Structure 1
Amino acid sequence: MYIEVVKSKIHRVKVTEANLNYVGSITIDEDLLIASNIIENEKVQIVNVNNGERLETYVIKGEKGSGAICLNGAAARKAEVGDVLIIISYATLDFEEAKSFKPWIVFPDTETNRII
């Protein structure tokens, strides 16, 4: 049996930009991607702490050290600059393997989106 588990989580970052005129996705600072083990084009779930919105999209690598968290395309309608997000990716694992799996969880500074 296989189950879906949390693979990676970036807990509480602030939206720095919302770009409606872009072909969809979320741009995330490369430092956050490295720390959370999320890769470019990976599917992620976005949870908006401010308004309860949830959506799925894919990741675009942002400039390293920029603190960028930018919702692009239609996703830009789901959050405003300054909203706090939780970004989660999942993996499908064998049930027994999942019991010992440890996800990568990052708690950046919410004001700067940089790793503490």
Structure 2
Amino acid sequence: MFRILLKGKIHRATVTEKNIHYEGSVTIDEELMELADIEENELVQIVDINNGARFETYVIKGERGSRIIGLNGAAARMVELGDKVIIMAYGLYEKGENSKPKIVVVDDNNNPKILKDHEEPKTEC
């Protein structure tokens, strides 16, 4: 049996850009994508911590080191600049297959501060 499990996550990223007049997607700094094992065009689920919105879109590679988290198209209506979001990618795994997710916790400027490959980060709310 296959199961859908968390594969990679960028935790508490800050929305730096919104562009309603662009095809729907999320633009993510290429370095953050690599650290979280997220690929360009991959389906991701996004949760806005500020307003509780949950939605799906696909990823566009942003400039390495830019620390961009940009919501585009209809997804841009789900967030505000400065909102904190969690970006999650999932994979199909067989029972017993290694499924330890790559978790990247970022600071307020989207710089990676904690990298984990198997457990949820402990953060203060």
Shorter-chain TM-score range:
over 0.9
The alpha carbon displacement at 1:80 in A equals: 0.4
The higher-RCO structure (CA 8 Å, 6+ apart) is: 1
What amino acid does structure 2 have at the position aligned with 1:106?
Answer: V
Q: How does 1:18-37 map to 2 (within 5 A)?
A: 18-37=18-37
The alpha carbon displacement at 1:85 in A equals: 0.1
Provide, for residues 23-60 of structure 1, a one-character-per-residue CA deviation record: whole Å limited to 9, x for no partner. Answer: 11000011100111101000000000000000000000
CA distance in 2, matches of 1:2, 1:35: 25
1:112 is aligned to 2:109:
yes
Q: 1:102 aligns with which of 93, 100, 103?
A: 100
The alpha carbon displacement at 1:108 in A equals: 1.2
Identity of aligned residues (%): 54
CA distance in 1, matches of 2:87, 2:36: 10
CA distance in 1, matches of 2:34, 2:56: 20
SS in structure 2 of the partner of residue 96 of structure 1 = coil
Name the residue aligned to 1:39.
Answer: 39
Provide, for residues 43-83 of structure 1, a one-character-per-residue CA deviation record: whole Å limited to 9, x for no partner. Answer: 00000000000000000000111110000000000000000
Task: Report how many aligned residue pairs link the two structures.
Answer: 113
Name the residue aligned to 1:61.
Answer: 61
SS in structure 2 of the partner of residue 107 of structure 1 = strand
Name the residue aligned to 1:84.
Answer: 84
What amino acid does structure 2 have at the position aligned with 1:49?
Answer: I
TM-score of the two chains, using structure 1 as the length reference: 0.95
Please state which structure has a larger fraction of its residues in helix. 1
TM-score of the two chains, using structure 2 as the length reference: 0.88
Structure 1, unaligned runs of 5 or more: none
Structure 2, unaligned runs of 5 or more: 114-125
List 4+ stretches of structure 1 deviating above 2 A. Answer: none
